[in-house]
Amino acid sequence: MKSRWILNFVLLLVVLIVGAVVYFSPKQSQQQVQDYEVSSLRLADMNAISIEFPAQASLKFEKRDGFWYLQQPCAAR
């Protein structure tokens, strides 16, 4: 029974030491993610959008009263 206590105590020490090493290790600086604009167009300036796929049905959206509505393949909100 005593050997189990010793084993558990040693395992607890190992976990605490590994945790301390991870916690106190020098932090790596986070790299800044750069944003790239794909287009200079703004969504607020558009009233309709059409997306065409080579092997699928195209999608058409229309903006009415500030909300975008799906027009194709089936009309929906």
- What does the pLDDT look like over 44-77, one tens digit per residue? 788 888 888 888 888 899 998 888 898 887 766 5
The SS3 assignment for 3 reads helix
In a domain, 51, yes or no: yes
- Residue 53: which domain range? 46-77
pLDDT band at 1 (very low <50, low <70, confident <90, very high): low
Q: Is the entire prediction scored with pTM above 0.75?
A: no
DSSP 61: E
Tens digit of each residue's pLDDT (9 = 90 or more) over 20-50: 998 888 877 777 778 888 888 887 788 888 8
Structural tokens at position 55: 């092997």
Counting DSSP H helices and E strands in the chain, the numbers are: 1, 3
Looking at the 3D structure of the chain, how many domains does it have? 1
